[in-house]
Amino acid sequence: MIWKYHTSSLTVAHILWEKAMQITRQQAAAAARIAAELARTGFALPGTLSLQRYRCGKAHCRCRAEPPTLHGPYALWTRKIEAKTVTRRLSAAELAEYGPLFENAKRLRALVSELQGLTLAIVEAETDAQQGDAGP
């Protein structure tokens, strides 16, 4: 079935798609739960947050002693800006403020991945059924 992503026809196309596909009650419930969780998820920042320790360039620093005491940990926000990877160190206050926004982003990615897996299972089941019909 061919359908387009135009905003006006999206709902109609979605309904047609759901009618055409064999979607179980369980799959429909899972899709509804994912949609509800997506709707509940708030603002989200792009990129990743990591905590890192490092050695500086000074020759006689504690980070080069034996055993070494590395600098940090520092909260680093890494993301792509116009195809370039940009890393910014966050202050403790920024980390506290932005941390939940990275958690939301992670949650969104997990939900989208779950929805894609669910949709793939539906499409693959449909393909298997069609091939079964056409088979010997």
- Closest CB to Zn ion among 56 and 96? 56
Do the Cβ atoms of 35 and 112 come closer than 8 Å?
Answer: no
CB of 94 to Zn ion, least distance (A): 23
Which string of b and e fits 23-39 if b means at least 16 CB within 10 Å? beeebeebbeebeeeee
Minimum distance from residue 71 beta carbon to Zn ion (Å): 5
CB of 67 to Zn ion, least distance (A): 14
- CB of 59 vs Zn ion, minimal distance in Å: 9
Minimum CB distance to Zn ion smaller for 6 or for 58? 58
* C-beta of 64 vs 107, nearer to Zn ion: 64
Identity of the residue, 56 or 120, whose beta carbon is nearer to Zn ion in the bound complex:
56
Residue/partner pairs of 113-120 with CB below 8 Å, 24 or more apart: 114/30, 114/34, 115/31, 115/34, 118/27, 118/30, 118/31, 118/34
Chain residues that interact with Zn ion, rule: CB under 5 A: 56, 61, 63
